[in-house]
A and B are shown apart, each in its own frame.
Chain A
Amino acid sequence: MTRISLNSKKIETIKEICASFGNKPSEIINILHKVQGALGFLPKEVQEVISEEIRMPVAQIYGIVSFYSFFSMKPKGEHPISVCLGTACYVRDSEKVLDEFKRQLGVGIGELTDDGKFSLDCLRCVGACGLAPVALVGEKVYGRITPAQVKDIIAEYRDK
């Protein structure tokens, strides 16, 4: 028997989002998108509640969450950092930029810093190939960055 517990406010939020999509299993991608937007990430408790609301097996929901790299089961930092490893960025050395972020923050891909300020991820193309290599902090795009600039970018957010 699965027993899970979750904050009642969060449950309310999830229920509202599911209801706004008519509690339809066919809307699962949209629902997950919105719920992640509202709660930051999709831990298993959250997936269980969605499963209950839209009557879709939680294994299938987990199948979707684990398939798409956009969805995360781990909490994101206050300032989520994503480095593009798409083809254009990659050939312009974005991997070195990513390595510098790892070194400066002391975390690996998909991890969160101890103070909860930053999380690090990589992604594939944000549609700004002309600015390659590209990194995102939150929704702000940084283009043509070099490893040397990484320290300054982090500093911008350190005390925010």
Chain B
Amino acid sequence: MEKMINLTIDGIKLQVPKGTTILKAARSIGIDIPTLCHYELKGQGIENRPGSCRVCMVEVEGKGNLAAACATNVSEGMVVKTHTLRVIMARRTVVDLMLSDHPSDCLICPQSGKCELQKLAIDLGLREVTYAGEKSEYRIDVSPAIIRDMNKCVMCRRCETVCNSLQTVGSLSAIDRGFKAVVGTAFEQDLSKSTCVMCGQCVQACPVGALSEVDNTRQVMSAISNPKKTVIVQTAPAVRVAIGEEFGMKPGSRVTGKMVAALRMLGFDYVFDTDFAADLTIMEEGTEMLQRISKFIQGDKSVKLPIMTSCCPGWVNFFETYYPDMLDIPSTAKSPMQMFGAIAKTYWAERLGISREDLVVVSIMPCVAKKYECQRDEFKTNGNPDVDYSLTTRELADMIKLLNISFSDLQEEDFDRPLGESTGAAVIFGATGGVIEAATRTAYELFTKKELGKVDFTELRGLAGVREATVDFDGTPIHIGIAHGLGNARKLLDKVRKGETMFHAIEIMACPGGCVGGAGQPYHHGDFSKVEKRLQAIYEEDAAKTLRKSHENPYIQSLYKDYLGEPCGEKAHKLLHTIYFDKSAKIEETEE
């Protein structure tokens, strides 16, 4: 049995297991101690607590110095006071000192209103910066997806922890020392030249405005106001269960209809759904999966398994950088966003009778890496991209605020047809395990030629970092692996590389929880329960749909009949599949 420790916090007696920090003990009884450098994704094995910011200091009776609550374990008989005058004055000094080397451009900072340092300064009632001192000066680094302004860095090292421990990417590290110490890349090179895969979890973790996504809202506004352009929008599944948070609604609020109404008010000519393209992805990826598995079962040695999902751009960047020897394993199917773009700029543009240059495709994504994905050369025709701009959930919320739309009062509206119709299978793309569940629903029926009794594959759901399950395809066991978070992906891939475990199919999402925990989603500030609520909402949205299997989407059926031909056929292959590149570091030996 765990040893229990008795202590008193703010006069309340409590018992917690040995090894608990003061911070967690206090939070367990509803006492909130402010923090800045502390960042935890509960259940995902990630906790950043360098104890460096000193904001969480508390008084411990009998101890001379104040203790950092995040880094001090409880002990028997401990008496803690969290909000004495001494504690509050010390916290004020700490924040005051941080502000002495922090730009005071809060009014125009991308993080304004969401900044944890700003909130601390407000809560602590700081009215002047006492200590005028030297300011750090760093150049601003702009990558295709992420902007780094290290002048605003407070050295909490949350980004470093997620980059190294959660994602095992290792692009960011503390460099230099003393006053010059900062979080940076190797040799202070541009992020785009480093091993960064642009998953953006560092942006999600940053408490201040040091890391932010590239802002594309102005380009979108200007396209909308250009009468020569037809501007259409597609929304990813995870956006509809999260954007409500930006307007004060509860995490997990399903606001699909309000979101559609808001997009129409913003002036988009057609409001479509990435979910339509997710159904299309299942047709392509599911067919490819079935072809590979069938050949494998028949004993064809040229077939490589497992087949891996390829929807997630952070994940694609990750395997191109770290697993170049496995480039032939992921499905060649494009992501739903890119499939949507490819269909919109061919099929839909032809139907409207306009050129692809006059059609502007905007995507709303829970993602930062999508900004990079839509700029990839292989997704362009004559220099014109299939998807022109990708905005995060946060950027869409910013645009809605810009137009003074009262989001929570909006009447619900429905997506336009045909590219707005979707099934429940498409919605669950937003949750870890969802893509493979959607593929299983379709692949099962195509493989067994029988109708599924129950479409819910609960064995594929959950939030464990690495999951394995076997689905019975009417007598044929199909082994499935699932990982979310790139560190977990690495664990699963290393097993595959070593041949330790045999999988038929694997789903990987770069962000913890899948797209619901995406880097472009409203900031959760380390409260992972928000991500869990979004995840539940995704499954509710699926359950509420009449059609729940991608191949039953009538508009998908007619798209194949009228335009594409067969799934994985010649035209489908040309428009909906892609290739991957080796992006690993290369060391050349020279004689010189």
| A44 located at the interface, meaning its Cβ lies under 8 Å from any Cβ of chain B in the complex | yes
| B97 located at the interface, meaning its Cβ lies under 8 Å from any Cβ of chain A in the complex | no
Q: Which residue of B lies closest to A45 (CB)?
A: B587
- Report chain A residues within 8 Å CB of B172: 59
* Chain A binding surface, main DSSP class: helix
- Report chain B residues within 8 Å CB of A5: 587-590
Whole-angstrom CA separation of A8 from B588 in the bound complex: 8
Whole-angstrom CA separation of A45 from B591 in the bound complex: 15
- A63: contacting residue among B175, B587, B588, CB under 8 A: B175
| B585 located at the interface, meaning its Cβ lies under 8 Å from any Cβ of chain A in the complex | yes
- Report chain A residues within 8 Å CB of B164: 57, 60
Contact string, B193-205, partner A, CB cutoff 8 A, digits 1/0? 1110000000000
Q: Determine if B186 and A59 form an interchain contact, defined as CB atoms under 8 angstroms apart.
A: yes
B338 to chain A, nearest CB (A): 21
Q: Determine if A66 and B586 form an interchain contact, defined as CB atoms under 8 angstroms apart.
A: no
Q: Determine if B586 and A3 form an interchain contact, defined as CB atoms under 8 angstroms apart.
A: yes
- Report chain B residues within 8 Å CB of A67: 174-177
Interface positions of B from 573 to 592, Cβ below 8 Å from A:
582-592
Q: Determine if A2 and B590 form an interchain contact, defined as CB atoms under 8 angstroms apart.
A: no
Max count, chain A CB within 10 A of own CB: residue among B173, B176, B583 = B173
| B257 located at the interface, meaning its Cβ lies under 8 Å from any Cβ of chain A in the complex | no
Known: A2-B193, A6-B587, A48-B587. A59 touches B592 (CB 8 A): no
Whole-angstrom CA separation of A119 from B216 in the bound complex: 49
B131 to chain A, nearest CB (A): 25
Contact string, A45-67, partner B, CB cutoff 8 A, digits 1/0? 10111001000111111110011
Q: Determine if B193 and A62 form an interchain contact, defined as CB atoms under 8 angstroms apart.
A: no
A152 to chain B, nearest CB (A): 35
- A11: contacting residue among B171, B584, B586, B589, CB under 8 A: B589
- Report chain A residues within 8 Å CB of B173: 57, 59-60, 62-63
Whole-angstrom CA separation of A66 from B587 in the bound complex: 22
| B185 located at the interface, meaning its Cβ lies under 8 Å from any Cβ of chain A in the complex | yes
Whole-angstrom CA separation of A1 from B174 in the bound complex: 22
| B34 located at the interface, meaning its Cβ lies under 8 Å from any Cβ of chain A in the complex | no
Q: Determine if A4 and B585 form an interchain contact, defined as CB atoms under 8 angstroms apart.
A: yes
| B179 located at the interface, meaning its Cβ lies under 8 Å from any Cβ of chain A in the complex | no
Whole-angstrom CA separation of A60 from B194 in the bound complex: 12
Q: Which residue of A lies closest to B174 (CB)?
A: A63
Known: A2-B193, A52-B585, A57-B164. A7 touches B591 (CB 8 A): yes
Q: Determine if A57 and B195 form an interchain contact, defined as CB atoms under 8 angstroms apart.
A: yes
Whole-angstrom CA separation of A32 from B438 in the bound complex: 50
Whole-angstrom CA separation of A44 from B193 in the bound complex: 14
Whole-angstrom CA separation of A1 from B585 in the bound complex: 6
Whole-angstrom CA separation of A7 from B584 in the bound complex: 20
A68 to chain B, nearest CB (A): 8
Q: Which residue of A lies closest to B196 (CB)?
A: A59
Q: Determine if B591 and A66 form an interchain contact, defined as CB atoms under 8 angstroms apart.
A: no
A50 to chain B, nearest CB (A): 11
Whole-angstrom CA separation of A28 from B215 in the bound complex: 39
**Number of residues from B at the complex interface, CB < 8 A:** 28
Q: Determine if A62 and B583 form an interchain contact, defined as CB atoms under 8 angstroms apart.
A: no
- B589: contacting residue among A8, A52, A58, A61, CB under 8 A: A8
Whole-angstrom CA separation of A67 from B176 in the bound complex: 5
Q: Which residue of A lies closest to B592 (CB)?
A: A7
B493 to chain A, nearest CB (A): 14
- Report chain A residues within 8 Å CB of B583: 1
Whole-angstrom CA separation of A129 from B34 in the bound complex: 47
**Number of residues from A at the complex interface, CB < 8 A:** 25
Whole-angstrom CA separation of A52 from B195 in the bound complex: 13
Q: Determine if A66 and B175 form an interchain contact, defined as CB atoms under 8 angstroms apart.
A: yes
- B186: contacting residue among A1, A6, A7, A61, CB under 8 A: A61
- Report chain B residues within 8 Å CB of A62: 173, 175, 186-187
Q: Determine if A44 and B590 form an interchain contact, defined as CB atoms under 8 angstroms apart.
A: no
Q: Which residue of B lies closest to A2 (CB)?
A: B585
Q: Determine if A2 and B589 form an interchain contact, defined as CB atoms under 8 angstroms apart.
A: no
| B170 located at the interface, meaning its Cβ lies under 8 Å from any Cβ of chain A in the complex | yes
Interface positions of A from 1 to 35, Cβ below 8 Å from B:
1-8, 11
Q: Determine if B590 and A58 form an interchain contact, defined as CB atoms under 8 angstroms apart.
A: no
A32 to chain B, nearest CB (A): 14
Whole-angstrom CA separation of A137 from B330 in the bound complex: 58
Q: Which residue of A lies closest to B181 (CB)?
A: A67
- Report chain B residues within 8 Å CB of A66: 175-177
Q: Which residue of B lies closest to A73 (CB)?
A: B187
Whole-angstrom CA separation of A63 from B583 in the bound complex: 23
A129 to chain B, nearest CB (A): 23
A136 to chain B, nearest CB (A): 22
Q: Determine if A57 and B174 form an interchain contact, defined as CB atoms under 8 angstroms apart.
A: no
B83 to chain A, nearest CB (A): 37
- Report chain A residues within 8 Å CB of B184: 59
Q: Which residue of B lies closest to A63 (CB)?
A: B173
- A44: contacting residue among B176, B187, B584, CB under 8 A: B187
Whole-angstrom CA separation of A56 from B173 in the bound complex: 12
Whole-angstrom CA separation of A66 from B173 in the bound complex: 11
Q: Which residue of A lies closest to B321 (CB)?
A: A1
- Report chain B residues within 8 Å CB of A4: 585-588
B353 to chain A, nearest CB (A): 41
B309 to chain A, nearest CB (A): 24
- Report chain B residues within 8 Å CB of A58: 170, 186, 195
- A6: contacting residue among B171, B185, B194, B589, CB under 8 A: B589
Q: Please name 8 pairs of A and B residues whose Cβ atoms are closer than 8 Å in the assembled complex, sorted by A.
A: A1-B582, A5-B588, A7-B590, A8-B589, A11-B587, A52-B587, A57-B170, A57-B173
A3-B586, A4-B586, A5-B590 known; 19 new pairs, CB 8 Å cut-off, are: A1-B583, A1-B586, A3-B588, A6-B587, A6-B589, A6-B590, A7-B591, A8-B591, A11-B587, A11-B589, A44-B186, A52-B587, A57-B169, A57-B170, A58-B186, A58-B195, A59-B170, A59-B172, A62-B175
